[in-house]
Amino acid sequence: MTEAALITGCTSGIGEAFTHLLAREYTSLILVARNEIQLTQQAQNLSEVYGIAVYPIVADLEVAGAAAAIAQKTKESRLTVTTLINNAGFNVCGAFLNTDWQKEQAMLQLHAVFPTEMMKLFLPDMAKLKAGRILNVGSTGSYLPTPNDAVYAATKSYLLSVSKAIAAELQGSGVTITTLCPGATKTNFAKKAGIEDTWLFKLFVMDPNTVAAIGYRAMRRGKSAVTAGIYNKLLVSCSCLLPNPLLYYISKKML
């Protein structure tokens, strides 16, 4: 079996930045995304630039059973995943009374159920090897309820909580779980969510390569969680100190 790194949501933004960091460390990468054309092109480019084996897997991660299908394909390719990055995500922003439930349901599947199942499927082999790293991409919203972004923030809060709890269970095993919590980042994420013109994405945007580097470094060090950027760290710190009504007021103004 060949050791490999697996990343979801890899064709743009923070995920794309992660692929280059992984390609410098691994000789085999597994890339998972929904857009077959973009994924195939990306796999070819990475293989040519870094001289590594790249295995693209086209999958809709919002559908139940996607994680099991991915795990089966890695076994068929005789690959053992020793680094797993759950990066895929999207946002449904707006007042809860007005948002689309089907989209929110898909978001719950993608942000909560899918990464949990991926950990359930890939952790046993890491535990046997006594070596492995998982990086789950959360959000600054992981730390506080966010009006007008209620379900998104709740999914990211769950992901941070479950990741920290499992990481504590794995202490001393050689396997670590890290949660990266970025804030506003210059990707297509905000445009797709319709929030690119909000104050948050006008004033406090970080470069995806910088965010990925922060997360990657924290993962290699075995940290349980890391918040990207000074402003975002300040925001998270304030969430623990300020009264909830004031936090909710600020959140509404930012979005």
Helix (H, G, I), strand (E, B) or coil at 134: strand
Q: Determine the pLDDT at residue 78.
A: 97
- Counting as low any pLDDT under 70, the low residues of the chain are 187-203, 239, 241-242, 247, 249-255
pLDDT of residue 24: 97
Measured distance CA(182)–CA(80) in Å, rounded = 28
* pLDDT for the residue numbered 151: 97
Name the average pLDDT for the chain. Answer: 91
Which residue in 237, 235, 160, 227 sits closest to 200, CA to CA? Answer: 235
pLDDT of residue 1: 85
Beta strands in the chain (DSSP E): 2-8, 28-33, 53-58, 79-86, 132-137, 175-181, 225-227
Q: How far apart are CA 118 and CA 134, in angstroms?
A: 10
pLDDT in tens, 57-74: 999 999 999 999 999 999
Q: Which amino acid is at 12?
A: S
| Per-residue CA distances from 172 to 80, 132, 150 (Å) | 21, 12, 36
The residues facing 177 across adjacent strands are 134
How far apart are the C-alpha atoms of 53 and 59, rounded to whole Å?
19
How far is it, in rounded angstroms, from Cα 20 to Cα 155? Answer: 27
Q: Which domains does the chain have, with CATH numbers?
A: 2-254 (3.40.50.720)
Distance, in Å, from the CA atom of 186 to the CA atom of 10, rounded to the nearest integer, reads 15
Q: Which residue has the tokens 């980042």?
A: 185
At residue 184, the pLDDT reads: 78
The pLDDT of residue 238 is 72
